[in-house]
């Protein structure tokens, strides 16, 4: 017997190409074929077998075996057409071509004498020996996807059909020890069924599912890795699924059928799956031992999965319907702890304890941490769920189809990967399973009832209702309570031998229930996702995908079903697709369509679309209609309806887009309230504000709340004409009056909302947009606290400001205030002014004036500080006026203090100006050419430069912060010889440090010497007039006229005598009069004092100089009297005296003053006569006094 191998090419339509030929397929030395075994008795030589059937093997069955040959004696030869080792063959079988033909493995013939009764569908052939005197006589055979049918004529009575299949059982059991485990063979286990038939089989063929069902199965599994190479025809897709075996496919495939055509008739052979066997067991009066044998044979997990298929009715619809009795029995078996076991800790079962030899222990194994091991019911639920979700879980939900069906075409059309029919079938099965689990939970059956009886609900919501059992009513705990009591007693008996277990039996049961509930919710979500995808397909998912942006479209193309069900990205994409669907149908005439789609979404996938989504899209529809109407009242009514709908679901709406629609409709109530309601919903218990939120969630919630706030802020920016990108906003299309009205409305609505965090956000935005006036006018009650806290960094400073506004004494806060904080304090002062709180405003302005700064960039100028203090003084005085009008007393100390600080600031400004002038002059002097008369020019230049630098640095110091009067005097005025300012400060401070005013006199002496040095007597007189006018003439401490007068008269006499300067007789006198603000009495008193003191005035020439000055004073006095009478100035009176007008004709203006002047003139004439000087020196003075008396009769 020989075989030849031909290659038809990769596509199967090429010419025949012979690859190889094998002549000795059957080894003649093999014992069954006439050979002789060693040490075996002689036997009759058997005929040489022939090949009755050759069938290909799919890659699902083997990666390196390619064909199977069935011999006439029932033996099977497994052939391979590829060379190399078995481990490397088949790795790339789609491209590999045949190169050889060899037998890789053989399989003996199935045993004879087996029956076709209901013994779990067939009898296992594993471990059965074939008698040597009996041999099969196979006349024909048929092999397909793991199933073999042979026509046997070995018996003379009647031929039979032998059906051979892979045994799906988990382990073999011995009938004599039913329920106990036995050793299993490593060889491939098969089940054999024998059917007596008349006639000889001629041929056989698979019965494929109906075309619609085949198309659904191909759509489900075409993209799964192991089925990816199989596309058309779709009917043959079931062959690959059959090759996977019964267990993983019996939920989706019908029972396998084979049509057999023999010499007598045409028959159909149906292969029972394990679930069909279990169904028949439940359908009759089956002993419990048979059910237990089934569970032991297939394992608790697989058997429980089959129970779920029967209880939830997941079998193929083509099969006969499952009766309610079978379904209920399957549900009870699924919940029977005697069949599925109980949850326990891994290592406590008999199986795990058997891993160590009895009576011994092992010290070489690593002790594994004990983990919970759930029951077979949970394992069965996992198996059933995973098999339902296997063809879709990790695969994309949509694909891109090009013009020629190419899925890689980027410009193609987005379509769902699965057909609508496939998704519908899968959804139905998943929902059926979830409905069954939910009903058992609600009825508190099995572990659900036990855990509910313990009072542990966990994350599971139990519902009350009747407890339904198998014919009797119970509490759902009976079987489990008994099992757990037995386990607890076992645990208690062993408690003295080993440590306490990690979990109690009740805790393990609760853990399993929670795990099953999680799986149930996953199934519910998966069913909703499939319904959602079907609805998207019905409404053209390609069009919906086009409405997405490029990024979202890419995410959609790569979105797997797992991500759609479990990830946040899946939720977002589903929401966007629903939004696109709704927006497509929204319109004036689209209400019915929107309601219809919304109803389907709410019923079919409530987790993706619930009642809140329905209200949202109804609101969007109202806004769409409002934007299209020209009737103002109708537009207002539609916007109000939309607002009322969205107000019920603020946390579910996409406010960034919806509020823009309200803005376009000028319905700003919704623009303000909807984002604020959503922000409140994000933190309903105010945990963020109270600081009680979990730190891990704090930043996320804060960010979400700020996003809500920004919607309101953006509306303000738009009205103000400031867009987020700096482009002009909506304000360009709104007239100023309407713009102001809308801004006022937004502010008032915002202030009414009780959210202080939002108020702070609002106030900052208003300041940023330059809406300070609106802020101060419409700000809420918390505006003051906001401005205070924003204007201060530390709580102590805030409390200090609060104490100032409540009327406490002022004090220096001392801490630096930045520029950003200054604007808040300025607004606070403006707010106080607007509200009529003048004292609070004055004190806030004082804080601004006295604020400390660390750098010149942040420091306000002294002029700005002066403006703050000047305004503060005005506000304090206004408070006094208001108090007088309201007859409420006001403390005048505030005004006095503010005026004093203002005076000190003037001194600081004056000193700064002097220092800057000094630095400028010294720099100019050092830059000028060197004096030829200077013996040390370089040293003087260096000294001037150093002094200029010091003066400049001091001036910069003065520009930073305010100084006290003591600092100004000691650190700035005295070191730089600013004697004029020193005198003014001493006068302001009411200095009376020493009885004889030695310091003041010394300062005046230095000031006069300084002036004389600079500009002679004229300069000194000018300084005396300027400084004296600022001082009080009655204050002898700060204005020592005797020292000033004597100093000036001596200097004038000396400079006049030496010819250095031409000094008039009246220059000093007029300077003293100017210092005394025109009052002659104090000046005459000083001269009288000096003339009468011979010790002070030993020089007769100096005394004559003083008398000339006295004469000038008397003349000025007289002129002032006449000027007063005439209502003019002294200059005007002098004009009349020098003219035709005679004083004698004017009458007596002030008799007392004239008499006093005449008395003084007479006395001083006598003094002139007493001088022992030549007459030519005294005559002029004497005549002057006499003429003065004559002019004042």
Q: What is the pLDDT of residue 521?
A: 95
pLDDT at residue 807 in the model: 42
Residues 308 and 180 in one domain: no
pLDDT over 90, % of the chain:
22
Q: Which of 463, 491, 520 is the last residue of a domain?
A: 520
Q: How many residues does the chain have?
A: 1193
Average pLDDT over residues 584-597: 69
pLDDT at 122: 45
In a domain, 58, yes or no: yes
Q: Which two tokens stand for residue 935?
A: 């013996």
Statement: residue 590 has pLDDT above 80: no
Are 334 and 430 in the same domain? yes
Residue 553 maps to a domain:
no
Q: Looking at mean pLDDT, say which of 288-297, 609-618, 1093-1102 comes out highest.
A: 288-297
* The token pair that represents 413 in the structure block: 């059309």
pLDDT recorded at residue 1066? 85
Longest dimension (CA), the chain: 190
Report the Cα 247 to chain-centroid distance in Å: 48
Q: Does residue 190 sit in the same domain as residue 284?
A: no
DSSP strand pairing (398-401 vs 413-416): antiparallel
Sign of the CA dihedral running 325, 331, 332, 334 = positive
Count the neighbouring beta carbons within 10 Å of the beta carbon of residue 1159.
Answer: 11
| Distance of alpha carbon 487 from alpha carbon 19, whole angstroms | 67
> What is the DSSP secondary structure assignment for residue 205, as one 8-state letter?
E
Q: What's the mean pLDDT in 1163-1191?
A: 79
327 domain-assigned: yes
pLDDT band at residue 809 under the 50/70/90 scheme: very low
CA pair distance 243, 341, nearest whole angstrom: 31
What is the Cα–Cα distance from 149 to 142, expressed in whole angstroms? 5
- 312 and 199 in a single domain? The answer is no
Residue scoring higher pLDDT (348 or 698): 698
Average pLDDT, stretch 252-272?
88
Peptide bond just before 233 cis, omega within 30 deg: yes
Which residue, of 206, 240, 256, is where some domain finishes? 206
* pLDDT bucket at 889, cuts 50 / 70 / 90: low
Q: How far apart are CA 97 and CA 92, in angstroms?
A: 10
Of residues 505 and 938, more confidence is placed in 505
- ∠ CA 422-423-425, nearest 5°, is 65
Mean pLDDT of 196-212: 85
* Domain-embedded: residue 862: no
**Closest by Cα among 663, 647, 757 to 717:** 663
Say whether both 130 and 40 belong to one domain: yes
Q: For 739-795, how does the pLDDT look when each residue is reduced to its tens digit (9 = 90+)? A: 999 999 999 999 999 888 899 999 999 999 999 999 999 988 899 999 988 876 533
pLDDT 10s digits, 344-383: 887 554 434 333 444 444 445 555 666 788 889 999 999 9
Same domain, 313 and 200: no
Grade residue 238 by pLDDT with cuts at 50, 70 and 90: confident
Q: Would you say residue 193 has pLDDT above 50?
A: yes
Whether 669 has a pLDDT exceeding 90, the answer reads yes
Compare 433 and 21 and report the one with higher pLDDT: 433
Residue of 560 and 1078 predicted with greater confidence: 560
Structural domains in the chain (count): 3
Same domain as 285, residue 198? no
Q: Which residues contact 553 (CB under 8 A, 6 or more apart)?
A: 414, 545, 546
Residue 318: predicted pLDDT: 64
Gap between the Cα atoms of 808 and 839, Å rounded:
11
Of the residues 186, 206, 226, which one is the last residue of a structural domain? 206
pLDDT in tens, 277-294: 999 999 888 888 999 999
Among the listed ranges 68-77, 229-238, 460-469, 715-724, which one has the minimum average pLDDT value? Answer: 460-469
Same domain for 170 and 316, yes or no, is no
Residue 1117 lies in a domain: no
- Give me the mean pLDDT over the 140-146 stretch: 88
In the structure, what pLDDT confidence band is assigned to residue 123 with cuts at 50, 70 and 90? very low
Q: Mean pLDDT over residues 132-145, rounded?
A: 79
Residue 942 has pLDDT above 60, yes or no: yes
Q: Indicate the angle between helix axes 1100-1126 and 1175-1190, nearest 10 degrees.
A: 20
Burial 485-501 (b: 16+ CB within 10 A, else e): eebeeebeeeeeeeeeb
- Indicate if 143 and 8 belong to the same structural domain: yes
Q: Strand, coil or helix: what is 1142? A: coil
Residues of the domain holding 672: 650-772
Q: Quickly state the pLDDT bin for 1181 (edges 50, 70, 90).
A: confident
Q: Which of 5-19, 689-703, 890-904 has the lowest mean pLDDT?
A: 689-703
Whether 470 shows a pLDDT value over 60: the answer reads: no
- pLDDT higher than 60, residue 465: no
In a domain, 245, yes or no: no
Are 202 and 296 contained in the same domain?
A: no
Q: Is the pLDDT of residue 581 over 70?
A: yes
List, for residues 997-1013, the tens digit of each pLDDT value.
788 889 889 988 999 99
Q: Which of 246-255, 532-541, 809-818, 1173-1182 has the highest mean pLDDT?
A: 532-541
pLDDT digits (tens, 9 = 90+) for 1078-1098: 888 888 888 888 888 766 667
Contacts of 1067 (CB under 8 A, 6+ apart): 1017, 1018, 1021, 1052
284 and 202 inside one domain? no
Q: How many CB atoms lie under 10 A from the CB of residue 885?
A: 8
Is 655 inside a domain boundary? yes
881 confidence band (pLDDT: 50, 70, 90): confident
CATH number at residue 468: 1.20.58
Computed over every residue of the chain, the mean pLDDT equals 78
What are the pLDDT digits (tens) for 509-559? 888 889 999 999 999 999 999 999 999 998 888 888 888 888 888 999 999
Number of H helices, E strands in the chain: 45, 18
pLDDT of residue 429: 93
d(CA 215, CA 236): 10
Please tell me the distance from the alpha carbon of residue 432 to that of residue 420, in angstroms, as a whole number: 18
pLDDT of residue 865: 92
Tokens of 863: 């002029």
- In this prediction, residue 747 carries a pLDDT of 95
Distance CA 171, CA 406 (A): 46
pLDDT in the model for residue 913: 92
Is residue 326 a part of any domain in this protein?
A: yes
pLDDT at residue 313 tops 50: yes
Sign of torsion, CA 34 35 37 40?
positive
| pLDDT, tens only, 159-187 | 788 888 888 776 544 343 333 333 344 45
Statement to judge: residues 201 and 327 lie in one domain: no
Q: Token pair of 1104, please?
A: 């004559």
């Amino acid at each position: 017997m020989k075989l030849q191998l031909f290659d038809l090419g990769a596509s199967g339509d090429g010419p025949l190409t012979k690859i190889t030929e094998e002549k000795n397929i059957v080894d003649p030395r093999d014992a069954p074929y006439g050979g002789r075994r060693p040490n075996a008795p002689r036997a009759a030589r058997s005929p040489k077998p022939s090949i009755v059937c050759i069938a290909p093997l799919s890659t699902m069955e083997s990666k390196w075996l390619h064909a199977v040959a069935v011999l006439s004696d029932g033996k099977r030869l497994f052939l391979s057409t590829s060379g190399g080792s078995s481990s490397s063959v088949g790795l790339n079988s789609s491209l590999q071509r045949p190169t050889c033909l060899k037998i890789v493995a053989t399989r003996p013939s199935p045993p004879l004498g087996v029956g076709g009764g209901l013994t779990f569908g067939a009898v296992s052939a594993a471990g059965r020996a074939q008698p040597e005197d009996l041999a099969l006589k196979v006349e024909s055979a048929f092999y397909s996807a793991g199933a073999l049918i042979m026509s046997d004529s070995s018996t003379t009575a009647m031929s039979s059909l032998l059906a051979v299949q892979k045994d799906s059982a988990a382990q073999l059991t011995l009938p004599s020890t039913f329920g106990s485990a036995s050793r299993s063979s490593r060889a491939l286990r098969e089940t054999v069924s024998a059917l007596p038939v008349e006639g000889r089989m001629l041929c056989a063929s698979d019965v494929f599912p109906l075309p619609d069902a085949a198309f659904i199965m191909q759509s489900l599994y075409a993209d799964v890795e192991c089925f990816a190479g199989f596309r058309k025809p779709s009917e043959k897709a079931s062959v690959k699924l059959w090759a996977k075996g019964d267990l993983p496919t019996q939920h989706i495939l019908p029972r396998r059928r084979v049509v057999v055509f023999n010499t007598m008739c045409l028959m159909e052979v149906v292969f029972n799956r394990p679930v069909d066997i279990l169904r028949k067991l439940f359908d009759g009066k089956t002993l419990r031992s048979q059910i237990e044998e089934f569970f032991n044979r297939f394992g608790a997990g697989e058997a429980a999965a089959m129970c779920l298929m029967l209880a939830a009715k997941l079998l193929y619809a083509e099969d006969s319907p499952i009766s309610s009795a079978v379904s209920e029995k399957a549900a009870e078996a699924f919940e029977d702890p005697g069949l599925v076991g109980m949850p326990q800790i891994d290592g406590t079962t008999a199986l795990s304890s058997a891993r160590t030899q009895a009576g011994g222990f092992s010290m070489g194994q690593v002790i594994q941490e004990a983990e919970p091991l759930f029951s077979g019911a949970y394992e069965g639920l996992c198996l059933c769920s995973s098999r339902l979700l296997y063809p879709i879980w990790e695969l994309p939900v949509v694909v891109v189809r090009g013009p020629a069906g190419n899925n890689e075409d980027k410009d193609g059309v987005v379509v769902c990967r699965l057909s609508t029919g496939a998704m519908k079938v899968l959804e139905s099965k998943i929902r059926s399973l979830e409905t069954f689990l939910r009903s058992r939970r609600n009825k508190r059956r099995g572990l659900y009832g036990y855990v509910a009886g313990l009072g542990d609900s966990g994350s599971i919501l139990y519902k009350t209702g009747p407890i339904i059992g198998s014919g009797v009513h119970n509490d759902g705990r009976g079987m489990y309570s008994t099992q757990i009591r037995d386990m607890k007693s076992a645990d208690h008996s062993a408690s003295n031998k080993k440590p306490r277990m990690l979990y109690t039996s009740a805790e393990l049961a609760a853990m399993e229930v929670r795990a099953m509930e999680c799986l149930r919710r996953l199934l519910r979500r998966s069913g909703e996702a499939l319904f959602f995808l079907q609805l998207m397909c019905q409404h053209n998912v390609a069009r919906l995908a086009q409405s997405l942006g490029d990024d979202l479209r890419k995410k959609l193309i790569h979105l797997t079903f797992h991500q759609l069900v479990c990830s946040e990205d899946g939720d977002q994409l589903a929401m966007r697709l629903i939004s696109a669907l709704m927006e497509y149908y929204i319109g004036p005439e689209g209400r019915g369509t929107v309601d219809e789609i919304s109803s389907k979404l709410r019923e079919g996938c409530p987790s993706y679309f619930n009642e809140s989504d329905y209200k949202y899209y109804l609101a969007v529809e109202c806004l769409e209609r409002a934007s299209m109407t020209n009737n103002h009242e109708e537009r207002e009514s539609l916007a109000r309806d939309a607002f009322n709908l969205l107000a019920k679901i603020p946390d579910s709406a996409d406010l960034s887009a919806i509020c823009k629609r309200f803005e376009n409709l000028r319905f700003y109530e919704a623009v303000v309230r909807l984002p604020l309601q959503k922000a409140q919903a994000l933190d309903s218990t105010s945990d963020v504000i109270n600081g009680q939120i979990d730190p891990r969630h704090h930043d996320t919630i804060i960010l979400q709340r700020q996003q809500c706030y920004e919607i309101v802020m953006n509306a303000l920016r738009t009205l103000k004409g400031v867009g987020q990108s700096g482009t002009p906003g909506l304000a360009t299309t709104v007239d100023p009056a309407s713009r102001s009205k809308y801004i006022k409305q937004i502010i008032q609505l915002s202030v009414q909302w009780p959210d202080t965090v939002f108020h702070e956000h609002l106030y900052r935005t208003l300041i940023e947009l330059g809406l300070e006036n609106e802020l101060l006018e419409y700000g809420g009650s918390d505006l003051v606290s906001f401005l205070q806290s924003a204007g201060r960094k530390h709580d102590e400073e805030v409390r200090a400001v609060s104490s100032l506004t409540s009327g406490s004494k002022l004090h220096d806060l001392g801490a630096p205030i930045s520029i950003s904080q200054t604007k808040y304090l300025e607004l606070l002062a403006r707010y106080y002014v607007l509200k009529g709180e003048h004292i609070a405003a004055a004190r806030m302005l004082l804080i601004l004036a006295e604020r400390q700064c660390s750098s010149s960039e942040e420091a306000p100028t002294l002029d700005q500080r002066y403006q703050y203090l000047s305004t503060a003084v005005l506000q304090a005085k206004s408070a006094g006026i208001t108090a007088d009008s309201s007859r409420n007393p006001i403390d005048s100390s505030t005004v006095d203090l503010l005026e004093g600080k203002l005076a000190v600031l003037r001194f600081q400004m004056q000193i700064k100006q002097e220092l800057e002038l000094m630095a400028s002059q010294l720099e100019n002097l050092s830059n000028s050419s060197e004096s030829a008369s200077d013996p040390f020019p370089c040293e003087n230049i260096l000294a001037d430069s150093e002094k200029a630098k010091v003066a400049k640095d001091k001036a910069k110091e003065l520009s930073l912060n305010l100084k006290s009067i003591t600092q100004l005097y000691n650190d700035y005025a005295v070191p730089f010889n600013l004697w004029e300012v020193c005198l003014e400060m001493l006068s302001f401070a009411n200095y009376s440090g020493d009885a004889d005013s030695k310091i003041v006199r010394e300062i005046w002496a230095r000031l006069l010497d300084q002036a004389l040095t600079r500009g002679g007597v004229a300069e000194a007189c000018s300084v005396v007039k300027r400084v004296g006018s600022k001082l009080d003439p009655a204050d002898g401490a700060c204005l020592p006229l005797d020292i000033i007068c004597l100093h000036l008269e001596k200097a004038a006499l000396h400079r006049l005598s030496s010819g250095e300067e031409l000094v008039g007789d009246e220059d000093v006198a007029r300077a003293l009069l100017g210092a005394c603000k025109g009052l002659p009495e104090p000046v005459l008193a000083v001269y009288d004092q000096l003339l009468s003191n011979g010790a002070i005035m030993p020089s007769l020439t100096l005394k004559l100089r003083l008398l000339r000055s006295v004469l000038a004073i008397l003349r000025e006095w007289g002129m002032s009297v006449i000027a007063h009478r005439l209502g003019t100035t002294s200059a005007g009176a002098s004009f009349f005296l020098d003219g035709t007008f005679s004083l004698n004709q004017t009458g007596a203006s002030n008799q007392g003053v004239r008499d006093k002047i005449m008395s003084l003139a007479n006395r001083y004439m006598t003094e002139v006569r007493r001088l022992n000087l030549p007459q030519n020196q005294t005559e002029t003075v004497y005549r002057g006094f006499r003429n003065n008396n004559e002019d004042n009769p």
